[in-house]
Structure 1
């Protein structure tokens, strides 16, 4: 067997191994070292790519990296730098021998002229990053990074649940790759997108119909006086004060939006806020009486009466007094004088009730005086209660309802037994009963 001599020039791991021969022995070379094979065309030993020739060279999650004279099984995330970086060139490069038939550049580089330049695995889609990862090219290799909001667990990118870290003041909503903060009703997100500040709903068009009061996180609707808050909490409904009591007004209650008012019947005016007071038309000049008539005010109106009340055989001696002269035969059995008086009372007055006092103006010594209702009380609504010899009281015995008018002749009879003398005088009292109890 012919002897064979192999001269190896062993360099650093980052440079390809070069087989050196002496000129005398070049023709006699027939064998290569382990990991290389003889190339007949080039008459040189070339590296064997075990990653291609050996089936399943690396097991599990290990990745096969070809190496000069052998191969390495490394994790998929591992990177093998086989050439130093040159600072004097725009692209990382290593020297390359162009007379070789195989790629003389380290893994992650390609030959360009006499240098090795970095391969952008990301651009050339030569990476093994997962769809959820981002490929980042580096010198001689690449890295697989997860987007913001994701963390790498194994070979996958898993969404980070930022809500676990209580970034939000109120509610946190996790979304793929990020998160968002939400606030409870009545609050809005602050400028930092995490804190919550109170919303003044009253300034932002709260649906209160009348008054709005802002409070922390919410608002309250309130109504003006005379209104009630509706079941919806926003609307205001008018309160019908008149329906609550019949004593709010003396005569009639009128409900109005947010309030009520009292009104009085014709002939009356409102006194204060609820009472009705009779209008004295005779004093205010609103009566319709003529020049020869006397105006008499009554409850709710007035009466126009003739100035001369006397009827024959009586003659008028003063404004309201008539006498029957004794010289006239027809006056013998009639009251000597008639005095006209007028008064007004309200309806439904409580009984018995003193309404008018009779007082004698002339008293003769030794005379006995008695009082009676001469006429006008056919139904017995009145009676006389004598107080003393010169006075008596007219009493209302039954409740009466107006409008109504009574004309009562109240007679005082004077008897003098010593002189055998008897006379009488009449007070003609017109009693007007008003239409109301006020």
Structure 2
């Protein structure tokens, strides 16, 4: 199947500006296309990945992707999806974010010797335009009436929108025009909320380059979970691609916890597994849902793509150790990842009786309760059941001299850090 047929099968197309024209263009030649991200933060999260995964699919089909980092537009702020003005970041913070997102994009989408993928920063051309040029060469091509009718602006008219954010669509249109002229880009990809910006860019290209200019836009659907909530959010917040913000283990667990109703959709959207492989997993969801084969395949594919084979192996080791109770097999780094969201306590490295130790750090409410739990076999240290009330807890019990994992009952884990 061709690239558009594949995207249709993956249910990854929301709107196209000219489906027939784009299909014909893609049959005729290899095209350049782009997708952009603004550096409003120092990392992307899983929701940001969706259009860039589509960009990668085009690359695998022989087309030439361009990734745009919005070093200029990031200083302004896209109003889409927001009901209030953004707090503007300093230029220094924006540039720091640009550097981090650029490194993230290179890691995810560039391979050694890859000359197909280009990374650009719109600050490089926008900062050279003075206000008179902006108004004469670009502003003159935009109708206020048309701009007000765009959803991204219309949704803000009640609460108010500044001229700064109102002007955002002009800057993004300017990007598409620049890339059309300088990089031979003929297709822009984006989320469904970017439709207004994309069509504004196409209007600008045709006004400046003629009505016959071949340029197209394609958006992807808004991603919602089966329960209607926004994709990519957990109780702890966004699921980041930066391992310092969301550990590879947490990232892996996010995907393994996918609802059966969503997992095939996510396999189609996010992975590069082919139709036969995904349909086989779909059959397993139907016949053997308890094995969660589709969720495991999704978690493995995504963790490998974002964090690499080594971090995937680490995430699987942590998962297996927590399931089996073999805590001692984990390293200190793996302990920090696996128990990051669990109750944490601090204890001295000095030797202390187990009963006093449990009460002093707050895991047990009283010495009486501590004795009862030890007697009943409810207390384990690093996966080993404590059977002696006379046991002294020392630094020797700690993994790499740093951590002791206390399990109380079957499911209550606590992380004790020795200080």
Category of TM-score, reference length = shorter chain? under 0.3
Structure scoring higher RCO (CA < 8 A, sep ≥ 6) equals: 2
Give the structure with the higher percent helix: 2
Q: Which has the larger radius of gyration?
A: 1
The structure richer in strand per residue is: 1
